[in-house]
């Protein structure tokens, strides 16, 4: 079977497509024939070696995949059944989805919800799944479409673009923050009501600023998240899932103690099974057909290293699907 293999030489990560014997796959109860994977921010960090995602080489990257069961020692899965996987450290410390096959633990797999095919599942992928978890975090914070405007940062990215499509389909007014003016029409077509330039949010924020947002989905972190926090309405919620702009958070306690702002962290990797399935069901029900046409670009395994480098340079818009077979 073919796989993208990452090796390390002289401290540099090298990526190449190789023929691999299925016997080399790691331990697990279920072997999956992968048809589609996708390129996420974390994959790009791993493949380019720009982030310390992988500590054991050689490694097959790919933090998500969809396909059919090839063989299973887990009675919950049968040969030919359609499944998907995101997270659990797959593609980080367990060989991942950028390969024709993966061997994994049964409890990591989600049966593909009826109505979703493998290609659509990977247009959504880890990024879209995370966007849904962020929307659920806002809802759990009490945010409704009547609460006011929601702001989405890193809007052109996989998480941001899917968050806009989801929020808009659910009836929310969405403001998108983007560093790329050329993407304005794309973001409006996904459902954003307005697009604000990232440069408007680059100066250091005061502890509290004018109240603007009933909710926020942040994929960027650092000064942008600090600015958004200072602009949150009384009793609002921020779902923070990313660090595309940096891992720091130069903020104060003021938004929390004077405006009752809730900062909810969102992790997709270790999300428990029940919540996973609920999120996938909601993605299927909520995303309009137009999302699948707009959000996905298709590449091959061979193209993955070059596109990972583009993603690190902020030159990729929306989701990148990898056609594995
Ligand atoms: P993408 O690369 O697809 O999107 C990131 C977006 O952030 C870009 O499109 C860009 O949007 C903006 N951006 C890029 N660089 C900068 C910068 N230096 N400063 C400010 N904004 C920037 O990544 P994803 O959408 O897949 O992931 C976004 C973040 O969420 C990543 O940090 C990723 O690791 C994290 N993530 C976390 C998960 C979790 O479980 N917590 C799961 C999935 C992702 P624009 O050009 O429009 O400004």
> Across the chain, what does the average pLDDT equal?
97
How many A from CA of 204 to the centre of ligand 1? 20
Q: Return the structure tokens found at 250.
A: 């130069």
Distances (CA, A) of 291 to 82, 124, 165, 184, 325: 22, 9, 7, 16, 24
The mean pLDDT value for 46-53 works out to: 95
How many A from CA of 154 to the centre of ligand 1? 5
How far is the first Cα of the chain from the last one, in angstroms, to the nearest whole number? Answer: 10
CA distance 311 to 306: 9
pLDDT digits (tens, 9 = 90+) for 139-182: 999 999 999 999 999 999 999 999 999 999 999 999 999 999 99
pLDDT digits (tens, 9 = 90+) for 267-292: 999 999 999 999 999 999 999 999 99
The whole-model pTM stands at 0.98
Q: Return the structure tokens found at 21.
A: 């014997």
pLDDT digits (tens, 9 = 90+) for 291-325: 998 877 999 999 999 999 999 999 999 999 999 98
Q: How far is CA 238 from the centre of its chain?
A: 17
With the most atoms of ligand 1 within 8 angstroms of its CB, the residue from 155, 159, 275, 307 to mutate is 159
Residue 223: closest CA among 197, 190, 191, 199: 199
- From atom 43 of ligand 1, which residue's Cα is the shortest distance away? 127
> For ligand 1, is residue 311 a contact (CB within 6 Å)?
yes
How many A from CA of 311 to the centre of ligand 1? 9
Q: What is the CA angle 190-286-138, rounded to 5?
A: 85
Residue 177: closest CA among 209, 200, 155, 162: 155
């Amino acid at each position: 079977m073919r796989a993208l293999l990452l090796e390390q030489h002289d401290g540099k990560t090298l990526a190449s497509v190789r023929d691999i014997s299925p016997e080399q796959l790691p331990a697990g109860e279920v072997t999956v024939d992968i048809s589609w994977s996708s390129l996420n921010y974390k994959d790009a960090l791993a493949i380019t070696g720009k982030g310390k995602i992988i500590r054991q080489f050689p490694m097959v990257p790919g933090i998500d995949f969809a396909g059919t069961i090839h063989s299973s020692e887990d009675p919950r899965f049968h040969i030919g059944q359609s499944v998907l996987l995101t997270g659990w450290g797959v593609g980080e410390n367990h060989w991942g989805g950028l390969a024709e096959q993966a061997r994994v633990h049964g409890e990591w797999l989600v049966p593909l919800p009826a109505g979703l095919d493998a290609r659509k599942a990977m247009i959504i992928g880890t990024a879209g799944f995370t966007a849904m978890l962020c929307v659920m975090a806002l809802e759990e914070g009490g945010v409704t479409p009547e609460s006011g405007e929601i702001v989405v940062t890193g809007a052109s990215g996989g998480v941001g673009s899917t968050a806009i499509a989801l929020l808009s389909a659910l009836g929310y007014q969405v403001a998108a923050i983007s560093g790329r003016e050329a993407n304005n029409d794309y973001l409006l077509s996904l459902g954003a009501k307005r697009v604000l330039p990232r440069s408007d949010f680059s100066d250091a924020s005061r502890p509290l600023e004018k109240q603007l947002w009933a909710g926020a989905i942040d994929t960027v972190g650092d000064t942008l998240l600090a600015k958004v926090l200072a602009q949150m309405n009384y009793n609002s919620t921020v779902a923070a899932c990313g660090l595309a702009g940096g891992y720091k958070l130069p903020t104060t306690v003021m938004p929390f103690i004077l405006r009752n702002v809730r900062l909810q962290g969102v992790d997709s990797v270790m999300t428990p099974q029940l919540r996973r399935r609920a999120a996938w069901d909601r993605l299927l029900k909520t995303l309009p057909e137009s999302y699948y046409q707009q959000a996905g670009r298709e590449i091959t395994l061979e193209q993955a290293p070059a596109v990972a480098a583009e993603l690190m340079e902020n030159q990729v818009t929306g989701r990148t699907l990898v056609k594995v077979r």
